Each structure stands twice: as structure tokens, then as C-alpha cells.
Amino acid sequence: MSLSSKRLHEEKVFKDPVHRYIHVRDTLIWLLIGTKEFQRLRRVRQLGTTSMTFHGAEHSRFSHSLGVYEITRRMINVFAGRDHWNEEDRLLVLSAALLHDVGHGPFSHSFEKVFHTDHEWWTRQIILGETEVNAVLRQVDPQFPQAVADVIAKKSSNKLMTSMISSQIDADRMDYLLRDAYYTGVSYGHFDLERILRVMRPECDQVVVKASGMHAVEDYIMSRYQMYWQVYFHPVTRSSEVILSKILWRVRKLQEKGYKFRQPPRHFASLFTNELSLDDYLRLDETVMYFYFQAWQDEEDPILRDLCTRFLNRRLFQYIEFQPEKREEDWQKLQQLFMEMGVDPDYYLVQDSSSDLPYDVYRPGAGERVPIQLLMPDGSLRELSQESNVVEAISGKKRTDYKLYYPKDTLSACGQRVAREEAVRILTRG
Amino acid sequence: MSLSSKRLHEEKVFKDPVHRYIHVRDTLIWLLIGTKEFQRLRRVRQLGTTSMTFHGAEHSRFSHSLGVYEITRRMINVFAGRDHWNEEDRLLVLSAALLHDVGHGPFSHSFEKVFHTDHEWWTRQIILGETEVNAVLRQVDPQFPQAVADVIAKKSSNKLMTSMISSQIDADRMDYLLRDAYYTGVSYGHFDLERILRVMRPECDQVVVKASGMHAVEDYIMSRYQMYWQVYFHPVTRSSEVILSKILWRVRKLQEKGYKFRQPPRHFASLFTNELSLDDYLRLDETVMYFYFQAWQDEEDPILRDLCTRFLNRRLFQYIEFQPEKREEDWQKLQQLFMEMGVDPDYYLVQDSSSDLPYDVYRPGAGERVPIQLLMPDGSLRELSQESNVVEAISGKKRTDYKLYYPKDTLSACGQRVAREEAVRILTRG
Amino acid sequence: MSLSSKRLHEEKVFKDPVHRYIHVRDTLIWLLIGTKEFQRLRRVRQLGTTSMTFHGAEHSRFSHSLGVYEITRRMINVFAGRDHWNEEDRLLVLSAALLHDVGHGPFSHSFEKVFHTDHEWWTRQIILGETEVNAVLRQVDPQFPQAVADVIAKKSSNKLMTSMISSQIDADRMDYLLRDAYYTGVSYGHFDLERILRVMRPECDQVVVKASGMHAVEDYIMSRYQMYWQVYFHPVTRSSEVILSKILWRVRKLQEKGYKFRQPPRHFASLFTNELSLDDYLRLDETVMYFYFQAWQDEEDPILRDLCTRFLNRRLFQYIEFQPEKREEDWQKLQQLFMEMGVDPDYYLVQDSSSDLPYDVYRPGAGERVPIQLLMPDGSLRELSQESNVVEAISGKKRTDYKLYYPKDTLSACGQRVAREEAVRILTRG
Amino acid sequence: MSLSSKRLHEEKVFKDPVHRYIHVRDTLIWLLIGTKEFQRLRRVRQLGTTSMTFHGAEHSRFSHSLGVYEITRRMINVFAGRDHWNEEDRLLVLSAALLHDVGHGPFSHSFEKVFHTDHEWWTRQIILGETEVNAVLRQVDPQFPQAVADVIAKKSSNKLMTSMISSQIDADRMDYLLRDAYYTGVSYGHFDLERILRVMRPECDQVVVKASGMHAVEDYIMSRYQMYWQVYFHPVTRSSEVILSKILWRVRKLQEKGYKFRQPPRHFASLFTNELSLDDYLRLDETVMYFYFQAWQDEEDPILRDLCTRFLNRRLFQYIEFQPEKREEDWQKLQQLFMEMGVDPDYYLVQDSSSDLPYDVYRPGAGERVPIQLLMPDGSLRELSQESNVVEAISGKKRTDYKLYYPKDTLSACGQRVAREEAVRILTRG
């Protein structure tokens, strides 16, 4: 019997703080959760370094993935029996929902910038390659893995399915907003999920929302806006992120220079040669990264040693508002002064802007995620920001937050009084 | 100026999902939180393997320690100006509250059983040894570290202080019940913390509770009872715990036998020789443990390899109810059958009883933690279970839950049909 | 087309703070909610005088009735397709759930004691008499009203249905515990409704609960226990109740004596002659009662005037612990002293015991409500308190709380110094 | 001893679902709560007819008034010891916070429109006239009642105090948003009260908010915006409000015409002659109104009878979108058709626009409530909408929602086929 029609003898549930219970009826889903590639997500935190700012946010991508599955499941319950929804697509969407993040590595954002990896590419490898996930999916049908990968990669001809897990109001975002709000403990991030699900309708090309539910959607967009500015772009989190990135750059640089590591970055080795195998990649979880960070506190290289110690003990960089194009001269001068002080500006004077982050506010016109369409009483569709003042106000207006990060403590301890005092003067001029 | 009277220019707060905000006014507390020994608690989870059962429970001892501090701080606000409470003890109790768990290592419970370490002993080393924590505490007074260690070790002559963080209704338990309930998402574990704090009163030897608040205390005791049976003693969590313990035993055994590890347990080395230094101990966090578990999936030794693979991929053991003294014959027979099947019963046939766990229900008469005293309207004290039917019903009655764990999947795959079938017969006889 | 198969074009929902949404799909249910007899429940509060103690508890029987319907609806979703459950009974149980309290009048408890009315009797009249409710029910089938009345009156041969809305763990109690906890704001009263529903199973004679859900049921029983002692039996609530009862007694007495009211109790008239019609009864809601209480503040009769003023302005009686059989002499003496002071003891010296109240703790053996049966893994049934220490501890043990209520302010103002001082001496002796 | 320095022996608390506990330490506050004028607020609901739409919203102005007091109390705790805050003003602000709504009558909004009463005027009478409230306030100081009245009336020279209870972000609004959200059960209306209080600072003329808390304030403004559109302006609530107003108009009209009531509006009598005494006013609570509505179901006048029956049994009017100035012709025609059908358009064809309601969105420039000022890091002040895109987007833009209400059921039953069909055509043209 194909796995496509197998059901568990008794429904299984996972206790979940956000959705109360996560319900599993299909044997396929149960088996996918049990694969080692999916279990690995327990060792990758959802919010990377955010727990340095919000100590409660220590939840993993495992929890989030279950949540995306559960929201999708409930969405399907609403769609059942309606036009444009084909019940035969159920397992396909559920699998895609569950597996959409399976290729994420630790601290993805920093990692990918330094090593040019791409979690979406790895997601496809895990689904299509020689993995337990693939073996389970093939039990449905030999074409099934490809179909799942296509939905996740937005290459499926069925755009409705894609929009369920990847659009401006999809199961992915709805889960992470609620979940990140719950674990950080902030009061933003809440919205009426049940109401939104009730007013969602399947259309030919995408999920739309009945106009009567517009205010619930506004509330969701506002939650998102608040979470971005209050949590995701928090300057302290970005400070940890800056240090983390610089560690990775340093390792790469040292490796290139032929530096002899006391604890060689064995797990990273093939990264440098672009020969990273799937197996290697799967071993690179957060615990392994931490192992190296800890070991590297004893390296000879003072920069790697210092950065790792900072990261582990949360000795973060200070920051000031600093928009480079407006202060080009200060920027040049600071770099020079840092060099005079013997503090390498490549690692210790870091510009960072929030627009570098993989989050955005609602943008109706651009981006790959389809905008939100309201289903009007007369059956026509209207893009959300056309109807909502509030959404119009925040959509598209990309606000960038420029910061300059530097180690205040190192400067204080620096013996080059003249250079130091001038640097401090510039840094505190604001 | 001694650190004892230094206050931060502006109060600092930590956003906390359980207590909403954690408030820090004292420079001493702020500095302690910033020490590397305290930051290390971010890498030790509060509930060890519980997240294998309740996926949301990924919170660290760092969060919990802040919570215990915060509850103690609020308790002191209630005590302020009352008899028996000496405002000069404030920083001492707060420091003890914050640091009471600082000596915990990863998976303490299993770890300590195998390697005979003792987190309380390490807590004292961290407070009294050459650490950042010690350096900060000394700034208050050279005797201060010893005083803090004494309160935590219940050796202080001031029993009131000890009872605030270590009694049957202390800041420690109140935080972990609320926090573990929040992160697991179970509906037990809630009680009216604010009400309990309002009715707490300092007495000569301990904190007592006004009789008018008895029902709130009953509710707390019941939460505790429910959390024990529903969360802490959950048989699936214990299954992960069993595997973890057996990994550690196996490593120890292999080391003793002179086995050549592909990835030698360098971080554990001094454990075997009983020469573990404080520095070594502090490096042993959960991420390091996971690094080894992952590496050991490639060891030659089949038992270590298998157990590590199980632990990482959550291939847990099955369990049945099994009280050994009642089924001595079955127990002998099973061991023999396992050996026949080539499945080493030392690692794959494991008895486990809940009474081994470091939790208990309310026991008025015994144990080191002082029982709960109600302050009656006439000023006399009455032990809680004398007044409360409910508490009386559950107190002291140590209920043990006996389980036998074994790898069902391994048995199914075993070729020794006769032995296997007989073993299965015994295991399913119930 | 019979109403039994009519469904609304679109599901209607009511926003509910306790259950989030209350869902209505059946035209029958929608029409019943719209009847004037059901709408009248908006003018009868669920907890009578409790809002004098817990100011938030101003919710009506209308809200509660919707809640009982909703829980029953969810219970049916769990039962669907299982043995012993007949889908054809769906509308019958839902109607009974919705209407089970439709005969309640204002302050039922006090009212019924004084005037010997019976809300259950009135519920039947409303369902079977010439009412809008009856007219709607008849559209299903001419026998349908009788069937609904029988389920509510526990006279139906189908005991399973009865137990869904009237047993030791029924939709009625589960809603009122959660709802009363929500509106009072107490932290007791919460339990995991979703979990309990998930483990409920229909059996031949009653709803039972899978043994694996025992702890959730324990939690429910404990919530109940706490709500009784903390909310329902609260001595301040009982003080308001005492005054209310005495107002009604006084009106009855005055009417019997031929007293000339300034505001005659027109709405109560037929009560005195036992000729109360259904129409009269339906007009007797809480707002009408308050109208009279307010008007009677200007009556000539000093007792009625005083009691009404007290009730409206919350000038409640004081109370002391007082068990009459143990202090017979004091009791006689107090009555005599009150008479000497000119304070009529019939109205101003009132014994009250909690066991008079229409709530009880769990009693497996007695009472009309069937006890809770656990469905064991082997298919057998076990009564809950046999399995649960906690439940055993509180079940059946009827604890009575005796109080004596009196107007402390009146005594203080009394000129009979000798009598007063002696009375105070007795009252404060405790 | 003046009441200004008296404190209760033990702090009293009220359990409150929104703020958990309301704390009272001052004897003055305790006595004010006990006055009959304040207790009367238990009989006036906070949201009038809203419970016809959101059945949970049955809470009274009593609860809300306690909540405003509590928020003000917490605000003062934050202000203590800061510039611009004078601790001697504490009791004055607290009294004003507690009493700011004491003059509200039942269904104030409709009532005031028909009878030209003014709850603010009555608030002053209650504070300054011969009342229990006044007697308590005088015990502080003979000038104290006037001072309290001035703060409430915004006539005090101390504008800081006024802004605490009456500005764009005051204790009044913050309580009602949280409370109304809690009781309706909607997911909007929540914001981080604790955070906002933490960043509030007293300035010379008003309370300001530290810029670092801007996002919390944005969230509050958005909650307000959502509550207005989702709850306060809900078209079904306005339908009940329309019927209520028409009842009052009809009574007034009948009284003017000399109609002989079966149940004469005795409590309203002096309203018609503009001789309403304070005593009369205080008796006019919601229960009295309902008494008359019920009695008037039996009046001879068919309009009064019908409207009262509709109100009590929730037989509301239907509504359509209808902007009169855009459809002047339809409007004239409809009135004529209604007259032809014998359905008096003065009572049964009612225009209503949301801008008539006593709520508004944030308007920085206009209105009597002072706008929100952010306290920038450099000490300057900036009006909120200058800094916040989101607030700018919704502030000032008064969006009016025009509706036309009519009794669809009456039309359906009407025999004038031609007129009816034409009316329906116009009404459904949209």
C-alpha cells in the first residue's frame, strides 16, 4: 500500500505552547518527523543569536517546522470542499510545509554570507538526495520528492500550494511571528490566527482573504512590523551577529593564509574547497559550531581568540547610529585611528544595516512573495494596501537602520591615548 | 566604594516570558550576570532531555537562574520593613538566588550518576575559586563569597535566607514550575505567584505563609504534583535519559578497557582520573557533549555508535511497566535471552524507576528542605498537611513508577527467532 | 423541510473569551438563540451576588449557556463515528445543552428557598409550553420538545446524552468553571479542556474518560475544589446572599401581614398566591428585582428599607465562625440580646453554612450526577477516586463552613450599651 | 487626623482579571469606593449595548473605574522622586482617577443626545453636592472636592495631573482598551502596559513618553484603532443603539403629546421639565431603564411597544452602507415609501454614522486631549506622529462609516407590495 493513504491507528499529538496541540494522522508525516534530517533541526535554533538579547528565545527550527505543518493542516481543513482546492494535494502541501526549512544550518544568515552556502539549495538536496527524508517520500510515489521540492522552491505549476507556505501571509510567517513572540515574551506578535484561517479562501493562483477579515490581517501586518523593529532588528542581536560573522571571516582568512590551528576546523574543511558533501553539511549543527568557538578561545591568533571569547561570554560590541555615506570622512578617519591603536578595523569597526537582514515589512509590489489579495463581497480581488490605510503606511517604505559596531572595552584599555581620544570623540559625536 | 551600595544609573530589565520583566538595579547583580561562568548557563538546558518529549522545552538554566533571582527580589519587597527581615541581607540572598545553580553541568542527573560529580560542590568552587564570579563577589567584601556559598549550601546560621531559595516553597521551585509549564505548554504548573508572595512572611527560621493564603499554596503543591507525573517523570523523557546514561557508561567502560577512540573524549579525560579541574569542568557544556555524541556515531564500537545514533536521531527505547522484585524470574530470563540474541543487556535492557529522579512531592517530615508552615491568625504555626486534606493526600506517599526499557526495533531485526519470540512474549505479558 | 436537516448558508460565530469562538451551523440552534426566552438569560447573571466580592464576575447565564452548547458540540466531534454514539442524537443533545438553564430566574438560589419555585420545573414549562422556544423545537418534530425536556430532566432512556450535560464531568460544569475563573480573574479554575475532550469516549450509559487522561481529570477536580472554596463559598458573597434572602423573606412577611407597600411588589404578586404564570415568571429578571430593591429603599418598614439600602450600596453584614450546635447557649443569648437592642434577630442574626449551597465537591457514591469512570487499557471501567489519591482525598468529605452574619455597624450605633457590649463580647470570643 | 494621611491597617486588594490585583492602601480611597454613588456604577455597564454583539462584554463602569485608579497608582510609582512630580498630589490624582466617570448614567451616549444631560456635569454635582462622595472628600480638606472636580474637568492649573487621566495616552483609555478587549474576547486591544508605564515621565505640562518606548506606544495606538473599528463602531452594536435612542425619543414625544402611559415614566418625569435633581439622577441606573423597557412592551402605542420588544429580545434593525449626501434622491424616496407602508421613517429608517460616537482615533492637532509627546534622548519633545509612520498613517484621518438602519422583518411582513418592492430595490442596490 502506498504511504499516501496510510493513516496512524490513533492520532498522535505533540504538546505545543503556541498551537496547544499539533495533530498528526498521516503515517507519512509521522515518518518524516522521525527522520534524522528532520530531528537534526532540534540542534539549530530558530532565531540564532537573538537569545543573547531575549534570553527566552532558545527555541529550535524543529518546533517552528512542526508549527508550520500544523497551521497548514488547519488551513486545509478550511479549504476542504471548496473550489480550487484539490484534496489530493493535501499530503504534498503538508510535506512541503513540514520540510520547507529542513536545509537550514546553524546561524544561517551569517554562515551563508561568509561561505556562500544556500539553505534552499540544501533543502532540495535533502529532499532529493540519499537521505531518510527522501526514502520516506518515495514511498508515496517516485515523483513525490520532486513535487515536494518544487512546491518549496516555488517552481510548482500549482501556485495555490506555494502561496500556502510562501507568500505574504503564509503558514511559515504566521507560525514564526506567534512563536517568536511567545518565546521572547514580547507583547507584540500576537494576532488572531483562528480568525485569519476562517477567512482564508483558495483561489486559482493563491490564497486570498475575505474582505470581512481585513482588520485581522492588518493586525497581522502590524505584528510583523513590530516584531521586525523590536525583535529581529534589535541592535544587540545584531551585535552578536556581527561578532559571529567576523569569527567566520577570520577562520576563512586564517585557513587561506595557511595558519596552523590548534583545533583545526575539520567540519568546515570542505567548505573552503567548495566540496561540501550533504553528509558534511548535515553534521554542521549549532552544537558543533559552539564546540569550535570554545576550542578557539585557546588559539594563538589573537583576533580569533578574542572574538570567540566575546561570543561565548557575551562581551558584545557597542554601537552608535552611523550612516556611512553621510559621514564618509569620519569613517575614513576612524579606520585610520583604529589601525593606529592596533585594533584591526576589518574586525572591530563594523557597519551594519538592518536592510541586510532576511526580513522585510509588507511590500505589495516587489519581492518574490505574492502580495495579499482581499476577496471583496462582489467576488473581485483587491490588493491589501489599496484598502488599508495602516498597511499602506508601512508597506514598501524600507526604513534602514544604520549602525556602527565597535569594542568599547578594547578602546578603553588601549594605550594610544591620542588616537583613542580622537576616536572616542568621533564615536560619541552622534 | 564597595559594590554593596552601588546602583546602576538606570534600572536594567530583561524581557522574560514568565515574569514579564526581570528588574536589575544593583551593580553587583549586573556584573554577576555578565561573568563568563554565569553566561555559560546559556549552554546548559534546564530540563535536559525533556525536549525530546515536549519539543518546546528548550530553555536554559540561564533563564531559570534569572527567574529565581526575580522571585527572590519580589519576595524581599514583601518582607521589607517587617520583623525578622534584615535589609542588609538583601544582596546576599539575591546573589545566592542568582548563583544557586551555577555549578550545573550538562544533563546533570545522568552525568553525576556515572562520573560521581556533584553540581553543588562545583557551585561552591565557582563561588570560592579563581573565577570571574568570585572576583565580582569579593568587591563587596572579602568574606562575601563564603557567605553566598553558605546560604546556597544551607550552612548559613541565617535559616530564613536559606529557606527563601531552598525549602518546600522557595523561589527556585516556584520559578521552575512556572517556567517549565510555560515552555512545555502544559496547562498544569500554573499557580498564583503574586498571591503567594503577598502572603509570605519572614519568621525567625524560615519563610512562612499566612493561613489565609492556604488555598493558593494547595494549588502550588498540586501544580508540583502534576508537573512531576506529567512532565518530569514522563516515560519518554526517561527513555532518552536511559540512552544518555548508557552512552556515558559505555565511554567510561571503553576508556577503562583502553579502547582506541577515533574521537578521543579529550574533554572527559580528567574525569576518569579524578583530576577534573574547574577550568575543565566549565568547558563541559551541552554543546560539547553533543559534539562528541555526533562524532561517536562513527566509532568502531557498535554499542557506543548505536547509542549515540539513537540519542541524536531520537530512536528511543520502548518501555513496559515492570517491577523487578515482582518478576525476578522474568528479569533473569530476559537477560539471558538478550544475551542469546547478541543484545547486551547491560545497555539494552534497563530498569528505571521514577524515584531515582531528583524531584519529589511534598514531604513534610523528611528530606532536607523545610516543610511549609502556615501562620495562623493567632500567630501560631501549623505544618501545611495538618490543615489541608489535599496536601495530606499526596504528601509523603512516594509512588514509584517502575519501567523496563529496551530497543524494540533491534529485537524486531534480530535473527535469533526463538529467543526473540520468547523475549517478546515476556515483554508483552504486562 | 424539517428543521432537523437545515443548515445555515454560512457558519455563524460568536466571539467568546473562554472558547475563542462559538460555532453555529444548524438553523435550529440559531433560531433557539434568537428566541425571547433565551435572550432573557442576558438579564440573569450567572453568579448572582458574587460580583459583590469579585467585581469582574458580571457575566450572564446567556454567555454560560452558549458555552455549554459549544463544549457539547466539540464533544460530539470527538464522538463522531465511535460506538455508542448515534449521530442522529446530535441536535437533541445540542438543544438540551443550550437550553438546560433556560428556566433560571434571578438569584435563583435565594429566590427558590423563599418562594419555593424550581428552575428545573420552569425549564420544562419553557420547553413544553406556549413559547418561542417550543415553537422552534416543534419544527424539528412534534415530539422533539418532550425529548429535549427529558434529556435535561435526566428522564431520557439514553443515559449517554444525559451524562454529556449532567454528570460529574459534563459540559455544564466544565464551562462554568472555566468561565467563572475567567471573569473573576482567579488563577484557579483552569484545566486542559482540549485534552479532556480528546480522551472522552461514549459508552453505553455515560461518557467515560480514557485512563491516560487521568491527570487532566484530576486537575479538573482540583480546579473545582478550589473554585468552591475560593469563589463559590466566599463568605463575603454569602453575606450579600444572606441580605438578599432576608429582603425576600421580609417582602413575603409584609405581604402576608397586609402591609401597604408604597411600591407594591406587583411582579411578585402571583408568587404569594401560587398562581405564577409562565409569562409572569419570564418577566422576573434581575433588572426587575433591582427596580424593586431601589424603590423599597423608601418604604416605611424599617427592615425592608434597611436591607434594600444595604444590598444596593454593599453595606454587608460581618461574619464570624460559628457552629450553632457547639454554642447553643451563646446562640440563645445572642438572640435575646439582639431583641433587647431592638435589632430583629430573624433578619439580623443569621446562621449560614456552605453546605446549603448548590455546589459540591466530587462525590463518587452519592448524588444524582453519575461518577467519573476511567476507561482502562484493558477496556474495563474504574471509578476515578479508586485510581487517584488526590481525588480520593477530597471526594465525599463534605466540609461544612459555618458562619454567623450580623450588622456590625448597626450594633456600633446602638444605644443599649450593656446589651451591646455583651453581644460584642460573645461575637468576638471566636 | 485628616484623611490625607490615614492608611489602612492592612492593604486591601480587589481581584481583577485585567490588572490581577487592585491595591488600596489609603483610607480615603477605601471610603470612596464604599460610597453609594460609587457602588451605583455596578449598575451601569461600561459598553452599553455592545454586549448584544459581544456577549462577554457585560462589565460595569465600577470595574473600569477601579482599573483607572490602579493604572494611575502604578504611574505614580514610576513618577515617585522625579522632577515635576509632587508627591503631595498623590491622593488628588488618585481620587480624580477613581471618580472621573462617577456621573455616568445608563447608556450615556443615547441618553444624553435625547435628554441633553451631560455626565461630566453630573460628575461635578456628585463631587461637590450633598453626597457620600463629597462627605468623604471633605475629610481631607474642605477645598479638596473642588480640587478633584477641577482635575477631572481639566480646569486645574496642574496640567500634568489632568494629562494622567485625560490625554491621548491616559489611565482611562489604557484601562478601557485592555478591559474591553478582555471582556469581548477579541485579540486586539492588547499592548504592553507595563512597558508604557516604565517609559512614562512627568513633565511640566503633561506626561511624556521616552522615545525608546515609541514602539510600545505605536502598539497602543494600533490597538485603539482596531478596537474602534472592530468593537466600538461595530454595526450591530450601533443597531441596538439606534433602537435604544428611538425608544427614548418616542417616550419624550409621547410625554409631550400628553399620551397616557400604562407604566408612566416616573423616573424620567423631571427630565422632561428640566428639573432633574441629583437624587433623581442617581436612581436612573440601567436596571431601572430595563424595568421600563419591559413594562412598555404592553403599552398601547405601537411604536414604543415594538421598539421595546425589539430591544429586549434583540430583534435588531438591518443595515446597509448609505451615505446620504450621495443618495439624496433615494433617501427622499425611501422616506416616502416607508410612509406609504405605514412604517414611520422617523423611527424605522435611521441614518447613523460612526463619527457620532464618543471615540476617536489619534488626532495630534485637534481635540481637547493633549497629543502624545516623545521625550528624545537629547531632552527635546517630539509629537508622536512626527516620528512614527504608522501613527501618522492613521491619525487625524477621520474615516466615517455611514449606515442606514431599517427593520427588514417589518418590511417583509408589510402588505403594501408595490411600495415594499420598490423600497427593497433601493435598499439592496447598495
* Nearest to C39, CA basis, from D365, A13, D311: D311
C298 with C204, same domain: the answer is: no
Task: Calculate mean pLDDT across residues D130-146.
Answer: 97
Task: Calculate mean pLDDT across residues C296-313.
Answer: 98
A309 with A321, same domain: the answer is: no
Cβ contact, residue pair C394, B397, below 8 Å: no
At residue B287, the pLDDT reads 96
Query: Which residues from A are below 8 Å from B40, CB to CB?
Result: 312
Write down which residue in A281, A296, A315 finishes a domain: A315
Selected residue with higher pLDDT from A70 and B10: A70
Cβ contact, residue pair A183, B54, below 8 Å: no
Cβ contact, residue pair B20, A288, below 8 Å: no
Task: Calculate mean pLDDT across residues A17-22.
Answer: 96
- Are B281 and B122 in contact by the 8 Å Cβ rule? The answer is yes
Query: What confidence tens digit (pLDDT) does each residue in D327-340 have?
Result: 999 999 999 999 99
- Are B316 and B310 in contact by the 8 Å Cβ rule? The answer is yes
Query: What confidence tens digit (pLDDT) does each residue in A345-369 have?
Result: 999 999 998 765 555 667 665 555 6
Q: Residue C355: count other Cβ atoms within 10 Å of its Cβ.
A: 13
- Are D177 and D189 in contact by the 8 Å Cβ rule? The answer is yes
Task: Give the pLDDT band of residue C273 (cuts 50, 70, 90).
Answer: confident
D182 with D315, same domain: the answer is: no
Query: What confidence tens digit (pLDDT) does each residue in A285-298 have?
Result: 999 999 999 999 99
Strand, coil or helix: C25:
strand
Strand positions, DSSP E, C182-282: 200-202, 207-210
Cα-only R_g, chain C: 24
At residue A384, the pLDDT reads 92
Question: Is the predicted pLDDT of residue B360 greater than 80, yes or no?
Answer: no
**CA dihedral for B153, B155, B158, B159, sign (positive or negative):** positive
Provide the number of structural domains found in chain D.
2
User: Could you tell me where the DSSP H helices lie in A166-213?
Assistant: 171-184, 193-199
Asked whether residue D162 is domain-assigned, the answer is yes
At residue D376, the pLDDT reads 94
The residue type found at B265 is P
The residue type found at D68 is V
At residue B4, the pLDDT reads 84
- Are B59 and B158 in contact by the 8 Å Cβ rule? The answer is no
Cβ contact, residue pair C288, D285, below 8 Å: no
Main-chain phi, psi angles of B71, to 5 degrees = -65, -40
Query: Which residues from C are below 8 Å from D16, CB to CB?
Result: 55-56, 185
Q: Residue B400: count other Cβ atoms within 10 Å of its Cβ.
A: 10
Selected residue with higher pLDDT from B127 and B378: B127
Q: Residue C118: count other Cβ atoms within 10 Å of its Cβ.
A: 12
At residue D326, the pLDDT reads 87
At residue B153, the pLDDT reads 95
CATH number at residue B154: 1.10.3210.10
Question: Is the predicted pLDDT of residue D399 greater than 90, yes or no?
Answer: no
- Are B386 and B218 in contact by the 8 Å Cβ rule? The answer is no
Query: Which residues from C are below 8 Å from A20, CB to CB?
Result: 194
At residue A190, the pLDDT reads 86
B259 with B298, same domain: the answer is: yes
Cβ contact, residue pair A39, B313, below 8 Å: yes
Cβ contact, residue pair C390, B390, below 8 Å: yes
Question: Is the predicted pLDDT of residue C363 greater than 80, yes or no?
Answer: no
Option in B39, B294, B312 nearest A314 (CB): B39
Task: Calculate mean pLDDT across residues D293-300.
Answer: 97
C350 with C366, same domain: the answer is: no
- Are C43 and C287 in contact by the 8 Å Cβ rule? The answer is yes
Asked whether residue B218 is domain-assigned, the answer is no
At residue D353, the pLDDT reads 84
Range among B272-281, C67-76, D190-199 with highest mean pLDDT value:
C67-76
Output the average pLDDT for chain C: 92
Q: Which of these ranges, B102-116, B336-350, C348-362, has the smallest mean pLDDT?
A: C348-362
Q: Which residues of B touch D (CB under 8 A)?
A: 13, 20-21, 194, 198
B19 with B115, same domain: the answer is: yes
d(CA B234, CA B245): 16
Query: What confidence tens digit (pLDDT) does each residue in D210-250 have?
Result: 999 999 999 999 898 889 888 998 999 999 999 999 999 99
Instruction: Give the rounded percent of residues in chain A with a pLDDT score beyond 70.
Output: 95
Cell numbers for D220, please give them: 497602543
At residue C336, the pLDDT reads 96
d(CA B352, CA B48): 17
At residue D400, the pLDDT reads 77
3-state secondary structure C158-205: CHHHHHHHCCCCCHHHHHHHHHHHHHHCCCCCCCCHHHHHHHEEECCC
Query: What confidence tens digit (pLDDT) does each residue in C79-109 have?
Result: 999 999 999 999 999 999 999 999 999 998 8
Write down which residue in B252, B285, B314 finishes a domain: B314
Task: Calculate mean pLDDT across residues A11-37.
Answer: 96
Cell numbers for A221, please give them: 501586518
Which residues neighbour B260 within 8 Å (Cβ) at sequence distance 6 or greater?
none
Asked whether residue D345 is domain-assigned, the answer is yes
At residue A278, the pLDDT reads 93
B65 with B92, same domain: the answer is: yes
Which residues neighbour D43 within 8 Å (Cβ) at sequence distance 6 or greater?
C290, D60, D106, D285, D286, D287
What does the DSSP 8-state code read for residue B228?
Answer: I
D110 with D141, same domain: the answer is: yes
- The distance of B391 to chain C (nearest Cα, Å) reads 8
At residue C113, the pLDDT reads 87
Task: Give the pLDDT band of residue B331 (cuts 50, 70, 90).
Answer: very high
Query: What confidence tens digit (pLDDT) does each residue in B196-217 have?
Result: 999 999 999 999 999 999 999 9
User: Could you tell me where the DSSP H helices lie in B258-344?
Assistant: 269-272, 278-283, 286-295, 302-313, 328-341
At residue D360, the pLDDT reads 63
- Are B190 and B178 in contact by the 8 Å Cβ rule? The answer is yes
Instruction: Give the rounded percent of residues in chain C with a pLDDT score beyond 70.
Output: 95
How does D183-198 read in b/e, with b if 16+ C-beta sit within 10 Å?
bbbbbbbbbbbebbbb
Question: Is the predicted pLDDT of residue C364 greater than 70, yes or no?
Answer: no
Query: What confidence tens digit (pLDDT) does each residue in D74-133 have?
Result: 999 999 999 999 999 999 999 999 999 999 999 988 888 888 889 999 999 999 999 999
Chain A with chain C: Cβ pairs closer than 8 A = 8
B42 with B144, same domain: the answer is: yes
B112 with B188, same domain: the answer is: yes
Query: Which residues from B are below 8 Å from D20, CB to CB?
Result: 194
Task: Calculate mean pLDDT across residues C293-305.
Answer: 97
What is the strand order of the sheet A381-383 is part of? A200-202, A207-210, A373-375, A381-383
Selected residue with higher pLDDT from D401 and B95: B95
Option in D184, D289, D314 nearest C39 (CB): D314
Task: Give the pLDDT band of residue A229 (cuts 50, 70, 90).
Answer: confident
Query: What confidence tens digit (pLDDT) does each residue in A300-328 have?
Result: 999 999 999 999 999 999 999 998 788 89
Mutate to test the interface with B, among D20, D22, D25 (most CBs of B within 10 A): D20
Task: Give the pLDDT band of residue D430 (cuts 50, 70, 90).
Answer: low
Asked whether residue B112 is domain-assigned, the answer is yes
Option in B34, B184, B312 nearest A15 (CB): B184
* Nearest to A65, CA basis, from A113, A32, A92: A32
Q: Which residues of C touch B (CB under 8 A)?
A: 186-188, 190-192, 195, 215, 218-219, 222, 225-226, 229-230, 389-390, 392-394, 397, 399
Cell numbers for B40, please give them: 555559560
At residue C78, the pLDDT reads 95
Asked whether residue B212 is domain-assigned, the answer is no
Cα-only R_g, chain A: 24
Neighbours of chain D (3+ CB pairs under 8 A): A, B, C
Q: Which residues of A touch B (CB under 8 A)?
A: 14-18, 20, 34-36, 39-40, 42-43, 51, 54-56, 58-60, 62-63, 66, 182-186, 283, 285-288, 290-291, 294, 312-314
Main-chain phi, psi angles of B21, to 5 degrees = -135, 145
- The distance of C183 to chain D (nearest Cα, Å) reads 7
Query: What confidence tens digit (pLDDT) does each residue in B145-181 have?
Result: 999 999 999 999 999 999 999 999 999 999 999 999 9
N-terminal to C-terminal alpha carbon distance within chain C:
69
Determine the distance from the C-alpha atom of residue C112 to the mean position of all C-alpha atoms in its chain, rounded to a whole number: 12
What is the strand order of the sheet D207-210 is part of? D200-202, D207-210, D373-375, D381-383
Asked whether residue B45 is domain-assigned, the answer is yes
Question: Is the predicted pLDDT of residue D1 greater than 80, yes or no?
Answer: no
Output the average pLDDT for chain B: 92
C180 with C241, same domain: the answer is: no
The residue type found at B229 is W
CA distances from D44 to C153, D107, D241, D347 (A): 36, 8, 15, 26
Option in A13, A21, A194 nearest C20 (CB): A194
Query: Which residues from D are below 8 Å from B21, CB to CB?
Result: 194, 198
Determine the distance from the C-alpha atom of residue C411 to the mean position of all C-alpha atoms in its chain, rounded to a whole number: 33
Q: Which chain C residue lies closest to B223 (C-alpha atoms)?
A: C219
Option in A188, A192, A229 nearest D187 (CB): A192
CATH number at residue C271: 1.20.1250.30
d(CA A40, CA A282): 8
Option in A63, A183, A285 nearest B17 (CB): A183
Angle between helix axes C286-295 and C302-313 (nearest 10 degrees) is 130
Question: Is the predicted pLDDT of residue B368 greater than 80, yes or no?
Answer: no
- The distance of C386 to chain D (nearest Cα, Å) reads 36
At residue D270, the pLDDT reads 82
C227 with C245, same domain: the answer is: no
Question: Is the predicted pLDDT of residue C28 greater than 90, yes or no?
Answer: yes
Task: Calculate mean pLDDT across residues B68-76.
Answer: 98
Write down which residue in D173, D201, D233 finishes a domain: D233
Task: Calculate mean pLDDT across residues B9-19.
Answer: 94
Output the average pLDDT for chain A: 92
- The distance of B190 to chain A (nearest Cα, Å) reads 14
Residue keyed to cell 454595526 = D235
At residue B397, the pLDDT reads 64
d(CA B396, CA B386): 13
Domain ranges, residue C328: 235-355+400-429
Question: Is the predicted pLDDT of residue A47 greater than 70, yes or no?
Answer: yes
At residue A430, the pLDDT reads 61
Question: Is the predicted pLDDT of residue A13 greater than 90, yes or no?
Answer: yes
What is the strand order of the sheet C381-383 is part of? C200-202, C207-210, C373-375, C381-383
Neighbours of chain B (3+ CB pairs under 8 A): A, C, D
Task: Give the pLDDT band of residue B183 (cuts 50, 70, 90).
Answer: very high
Task: Calculate mean pLDDT across residues C129-140.
Answer: 97
Looking at this predicted complex, what is its ipTM? 0.95
Instruction: Give the rounded percent of residues in chain C with a pLDDT score beyond 90.
Output: 76
**What length is written for chain D?**
430
At residue B32, the pLDDT reads 98
- Are D406 and D349 in contact by the 8 Å Cβ rule? The answer is yes
